[in-house]
A and B are shown apart, each in its own frame.
Chain A
Amino acid sequence: MAHDGKPVAAGRKFDSVGTRPLRPDGIDKVTGRARYGADMNMPGQLIGKVLRSPHAHALIKSIDTSAAEKLPGVRAVITARDLPDLTGGDQGQMDTLVNTMARERTLYDGHAVAAVAASSASIAQAALKLIEVVYEVLPHVTDVDEAMKPDAPLVNGGVITNGVTPKPTKKSNVLIRHEFGHGNIAKGFADADIVVERSFKTEATHQGYIEPHACVANLGADGTGDMWVCTQGHYNVRAVCAAMLGLEQSKLRITASEIGGGFGGKTMLFIEPLAFALSRKANRPVKMVMSREEVFRATGPTASSSMWMKVGAKKDGRVTAAHAVIKFQGGPFGGSLVDMGAMACFACYDLPNVKTEGYDVFCNRPRAAAYRAPSAPIVTFATESVMQEIADKLGLDPVDMRLKNAAKEGTKSSYGPTYGPIGLKATLEAVKETPHWKTPVAPGKHRGRGVACGFWFNFGGNTSVSMAINADGTVALAYGNPDIGGSRASMSLMAAEELGIPYEKVRCIVADTASLGYNDTTDGSRVTFAAGLSTINAARNAIKVMCARAAKTWGISEDAVTWEKGHAKPAGANAGKFEPLSMAQIAATAQNTGGPIAGHFETFADSAGVSFGTHIADVEVDEETGKVTVLRYTVLQDAGKAIHPSYVEGQYQGGAAQGIGWALNEEYIYGKDGRLQNAGFLDYRIPVASDLPMIETVILEIPNPGHPYGVRGVGETPIVPPLGAIANAIAAATGVRMGDIPMSPPKLLKALEGRAR
């Protein structure tokens, strides 16, 4: 049922939805007028800079800021002393406080230790050099397997592991163990004709947004403040800063700038509380912009992992049992999202017997943040590799084998819930219809094709939307989610559709925290779904009001008025002979019929639909250098209903490109000293234009009953299949099965040489 209780009409014809108009922020972005996080300046502002620990793990014996404070031009210096513990014992808040600025210990290379606000960037940098910190270096560990060994150095003092019986007596680096599944895997494996068992290891990656974190903060002594910030969630910025600094939320007004990429990495806060703290101390606005090196060292990459997986199947390809043990490290506080990994791992398949175990492990690395379908690319790499290996050993077509095991409506998922209508089978069947699949791999040595499936849960959440009908009948739509991928255009399309007016009559903005009720962060592929259904419902409320005004104008009852294509009309001949009234006409007399006209809608949106995808990758492997070239790539994914098809395609292509980079080249490289070796775009190599072919896309539409137009979030799923698809293509091309991500040239060469022997 859709949010209003009416089922989504199958095959509904839309007027605006599904078209490809230009986005409202487009001209600003192609002319350089658009203002991002670092493009704002406030009068009298100071520049803030952060001093960061050069050690992987250390005690802070002392910090002397006196010389820095005396430097002419320096107006404030802060350390943990300026951030008192207001967490009230909440561990999550304490982790955030410590991550924002180290207290007794520094926990990773790049951990913030102190911060300075000065009249220029060069003076602030000079002041950092004058801060004297005395460290006592502690043993460190940066590898997840090393961290689980019994003699591993304890990160941040270690912890007694939760979720294990009997309860351990000794502290370790394992925060918690999770378990999901159903059935009887021992019996399942006993029933299998073939069993494949593999180990995998993946290194951490970074979201790699091109815009570094940036904000300008202004906080007065009375606790009233505002901030301009590039963020995926300005309401969350308000909440976290208020809690950390002991401020009232209503006194903080956060404005979201245009954002130059987020992908989950800008859902967490790093410099924002520091900017407010510096501003409060200096009584001046403070602007803080991270350098690229700081972004790599001290924001939130993904977890790195170590995994083991065992899958059993019958000769005909039907899987009888699946078991996975997944270990993630996500920095020094836990929260590596291994539980999401354990849930996502086998989510594509209909399995009678399944068990996934997840371990959340501490390491001396930056605290992990979400990255586009967090955890799913990692675990899906393992699953799709093993599924393919089974298909290969049984001589089965890769698509048919997956179809045989694919989850469908009514399947009990591996993480518990039973699926409603879903699109996995549709994407697999559609593979066979693509020009890509129908064209054999281009002839040549060491070329191969791989296929992989992927999934993401998608979320709904807190949403507040407001819609005003202007006196000229145009629409001012305000929602509260920073626009990363074109959502202003999508909201405008849905408003135009519901109201029955042209898209150009709707103007959509992202409002600040003072202007709307709470909005959850732009993440979880939730905006087109949740803000979309809220926009539609706000429009319905506005329509109700406009019909009531028309009824008043005509002197008839409200139930006798209906709405069609932007006009209020008498519902039938009995209602009376009245000319339809346009929105402009109704709005023009609004002050006489009851006042300004607006619709609004607030909700906690549930019933987001999951989104499944299947990818096809053709690769060529250079056996002399280990370099992999992607020859052809196709993304098939269920969007429920594509509101703006160009932006849906954009998500498919962008997510695939990130997944390809993750598969082939991106990784965090730590030295023996526990320091990050490649904190820049030269050596943290993301895909460039010459690395990729055109990325073909197929949008399927199996409507989500939980949204009035059938929308499913699409933003995250595209990054999930590429690691498996590329690994399977490499296996097809060379016979080598890679278990190590990234499958970079040195590693591939080694594996190829090993095969030759």
Chain B
Amino acid sequence: MSQAGGETEFVVEAATIQEMLTRLGDAHPALRPLLAKSVSVVVDGQLYRGAWQKPLREGAEIYLLPPMQGG
């Protein structure tokens, strides 16, 4: 969050998760190293970690969460 100068919400144009991550990294280069590590992506309430090709609908709600682990 602080890497993006304190902003917490972003609007990005993208057709897939991979495009979204790339465009976000382009807009805020300081975020790139965080996005490159396995970030968890939540799209419209569903958690994805391996689905770069997943298509995003218009107005999709996206959350980026830290990599998560279980025990």
Q: A: which residues have CB within 8 A of B?
A: 162-165, 167, 178-179, 207, 263-265, 267, 337, 339-340, 343, 369-374, 415-420, 456-462, 523-526, 604, 606-608, 716
Contacts and interface: CB of A to CB of B under 8 A. Distances in A.
A374 B46 CA distance: 21
For B46, B47, B51, B61, the residue with the greatest tally of chain A CB atoms inside 10 Å of its CB is: B47
Interface in B1-15: 1-2, 6
A-B interface, 8 closest residue pairs, ranked by CB to CB distance from nearest = A264-B71, A524-B70, A604-B50, A370-B71, A418-B45, A416-B63, A417-B42, A523-B70
Contact of B2 (A167, A456, A523): A167
A473 B42 CA distance: 43
A167 B30 CA distance: 14
Contact of A179 (B1, B42, B46): B1
Contacts of B6: 165
29 contacts: A162-B2, A167-B2, A264-B70, A265-B71, A267-B71, A337-B69, A339-B66, A340-B66, A340-B68, A370-B70, A374-B69, A416-B65, A417-B47, A418-B44, A419-B45, A456-B70, A457-B47, A457-B68, A457-B70, A458-B70, A459-B49, A459-B69, A459-B70, A461-B50, A462-B50, A523-B71, A526-B70, A606-B47, A606-B48
B71 A263 contact: yes
Given A340-B69, A417-B42, A459-B68, 20 more contacts: A164-B2, A265-B71, A337-B69, A340-B66, A370-B69, A371-B71, A374-B71, A418-B45, A418-B61, A456-B70, A459-B69, A461-B49, A461-B50, A604-B50, A606-B46, A606-B48, A606-B49, A607-B46, A607-B47, A716-B70
B51 A606 contact: yes
Contacts of A343: 65, 68
A676 B22 CA distance: 47
Nearest to B63: A416
For B63, B69, B71, the residue with the greatest tally of chain A CB atoms inside 10 Å of its CB is: B71
Nearest to A164: B2
Contact of B69 (A179, A418, A523): A523
A420 B45 contact: yes
A163 B71 contact: no
A372 B71 contact: yes
Contacts of B44: 418
Contacts of A164: 2
A167 B44 CA distance: 33
A374 B50 CA distance: 22
Contacts of B68: 340, 343, 457, 459, 524
Contacts of B70: 264, 370, 373-374, 456-459, 523-526, 716
A290 B30 CA distance: 43
Interface string B17-49: 000000000000000000000000010111111
